[in-house]
A and B are shown apart, each in its own frame.
Chain A
Amino acid sequence: MTGRILFCIMLAGYLALAVPFSSSLVNRPVLVKLGTLPEPEVLRIISGDQRFLVAQSAVVKVLFYYGTLVEKFQRKVRITPEYYNMYRTLITASKLDPWNADVYYFTQAAFTWELNKINEVNGLLDYGMRYRTWDYQLPFFAGFNSAYFLKDYKKAASYFEKAAQLRGDPLLANLSSRYFYESGQNRLALSFIDYMAKHTTDSKVVAVYEVRKKALLGVMTLEEAALGYQRRFGKKPERISDLVSSGVISSIPVDPYGGQFYLDGAGKVRSTSKFSFPVPEAQRKKQ
């Protein structure tokens, strides 16, 4: 009888604790959630023949964390992302398993557009190229970064040449520095985003690319409208609202990053969001 009473008390206690216990874990600090890994050299020693699994679990951990960030950004919840820890975890994963494609793909997806860590990403891609000698995508990513972000067309051309050699696809060979320069950056970026979104199984990463694509389409619509305005009135529009009031376009596209489109002094379309998810100022300075 005593045993049964004790069991019932324990069961009631468990039921009472289950929900608050679970929510306390859900709400634990971000840094605790993402965790920190030991130095790659140490981890390589202790993980033995399980190092490939450890590397993949580190990537998946970052991916899950990034997924929660994306959900929060989409709901306009302002939080401080642990970009540094994410990057460090990915670097560790690359040291444990330098062939892991997810590391390079995710670094390209998360650290270029939002954080502008182009040199770091290209450094990691260069490291990956030493191991994934058959993979055309790493030079393809590095070429895109060099041309689009760094405007280093010579370097981009050499990356694209390497990618074209590996792929044996003339399409990649056409993505030369000249093509970048002449065809317009946004249209090329749009093709790149479509490529990236098609080549992943992760819906969160696709969602991030969809947001970027929507922003680029908005910019392209406004740029084309500004050209139309100039053709019709013989002068550049002074404000974005001129495009609507003159009837060139019916409405101003929405910036999915939550900003407002405007024209800068040179007449270029920009947004107050700077096309990135909001990051608190203190965190931005830290990064």
Chain B
Amino acid sequence: MDTFQNLYRLSVASLVRDRLLYLVFSLAVLALVLIPPFSMFSMRQVQELSVTLCLSALSFFLLVVTVLTGSSSIWRDLEKRYAVSVLGLPLPRRDFVLGKFCAICTLLAVVSLLFAAGSFAAVKVSTALYPSEIPTQWGTFAIAVLFTYLKYVLLLSLAFVFSAVSTSFYFPFLASVAVFIAGSASQEVYEYMLGPYGERIAPTTKALTKGIYYLLPNFTAFDLSAQAIYSLPLVGGTLLLTLGYFVCYTGIMLCIAVWSFSRRELS
């Protein structure tokens, strides 16, 4: 078994022992139980509301897990002197970072899969209570869950960049949350600027905003909620472009995280 696999297994074992995850899982189960009765608040679209609630809850839980585990993983190992003792051995730091990253990705995948399975049951119950005129497209729902997962893997890569250079927990945590908010809003702001409002903005400000837009991760592309809720058709080309964007952006962030951590002084 090579170093990467060992470090990956160790990181997974460490995540499984984390009590915070048990709390998140308990809350997720509670949310799934509450989704069918909460869906009844809608007058006409009980099924659609149950899908909305499922995707919103999944997004929220993945955000919590991503930000907390992503921001704390490297910092916690440094704080507990675990990283120093492990990296004292002839092990590449790259494997340490990537092992941790892949372990959290696995955890996010498990959360997504379990929540998606629970969502399937919750939506079925809601549909039985008040059938909708639009049948749920489960394929579209699965793709929406997959893209939500990818969005948080991308955010995780950013959390690793912040975590690799930070000496405290707070900076990667707050920076990840800030980037998440900015990345979720950037597309709307960009489109707003392209409209009549943009004509009143100074060219320098416009160029600066465009620069920030391209620099920030674009999370809007990963949001397929409308398609999943209202069974709208998916555009294959856009999905492929989003996948390509995900691979490139996440790859760049991981390279920066590994490069930063490899040059870090560990005392």
| CB-based nearest A residue for B53 | A53
A59 to B48 CA separation, bound complex (whole angstroms)? 14
Contact surface of B with A, Cβ cutoff 8 Å: 40-46, 48-49, 52-53, 55-56, 59-60, 130, 133-134, 148, 181, 184-185, 188-189, 192, 219-220, 223, 225-226, 229-230, 232
Report whether B189 and A100 are in contact in the complex, using a CB–CB cutoff of 8 Å.
Answer: no
Interface pair A200/B43, CB less than 8 Å apart: yes
Return the chain B residue nearest A97 by Cβ: B226
Among A48, A53, A102, A201, contact of B184 (Cβ-Cβ < 8 Å): A48
List of B residues within 8 angstroms of A53 by Cβ: 52-53, 56
Instruction: Please determine whether B225 and A49 come into contact, CB atoms closer than 8 angstroms.
Output: yes
- B127: min CB distance to chain A, Å: 13
Q: How far is the CA of A76 from the CA of B227 in the complex (A)?
A: 45
Chain A contacts for B59, CB-based, 8 A? 49-50
Q: Which of A21-53 contact B (CB under 8 A)?
A: 41, 44-46, 48-50, 52-53
Q: Determine whether the beta carbon of A102 is less than 8 Å from that of B188.
A: no
Which residues of chain B are near A87, meaning CB under 8 Å?
Answer: none
Interface residues, chain A, CB within 8 Å of chain B?
Answer: 41, 44-46, 48-50, 52-53, 56, 59-60, 63, 97, 99-102, 105-106, 132, 134-135, 199-202, 205
B87 vs chain A, min Cβ distance (A): 37
Among B43, B49, B229, find the residue whose CB has the most chain A CB atoms closer than 10 A: B43
Nearest B residue to A44 via CB reads B188
CB-defined contacts of B232 to chain A, threshold 8 Å: 99
Contact of B189 among A45, A99, A202 (CB under 8 A): A45
Interface residues of A, dominant DSSP: helix
Asked if residues A52 and B229 are in contact (CB atoms below 8 Å), the reply is: yes
Is the CB–CB distance between B189 and A200 below 8 Å? no
The contact of B185 among A46, A60, A105, by CB within 8 Å, is A46
Is the pair B44, A200 in contact by a Cβ cutoff of 8 Å? yes
Residues of A contacting B49 in the complex (Cβ-Cβ under 8 angstroms): 56
* Set of chain B residues within 8 Å of A202, measured between Cβ atoms: 43
Considering residues A63, A97, A101, which has the most beta carbons from chain B within 10 angstroms of its beta carbon? A101
Q: Which residues of B contact A56 (CB under 8 A)?
A: 41-42, 49, 52
Contact of B223 among A49, A102, A105, A205 (CB under 8 A): A49
B188 in complex: contacting residue of A45, A60, A100, A106, CB < 8 Å: A45
Specify which chain B residues have a CB less than 8 angstroms from the CB of A41 in the assembled complex: 188, 192
Chain B contacts for A52, CB-based, 8 A: 52, 55-56, 225-226, 229
Partner pick for B43 among A45, A105, A132, CB 8 A cutoff = A105
Residues of B close to A46: CB separation below 8 A: 181, 185
User: A99 contacts B42, CB within 8 Å?
Assistant: no
Q: Which residue of A lies closest to B222 (CB)?
A: A49
Complex partner residue of A100 from B40, B45, B55, B148, CB under 8 angstroms:
B45
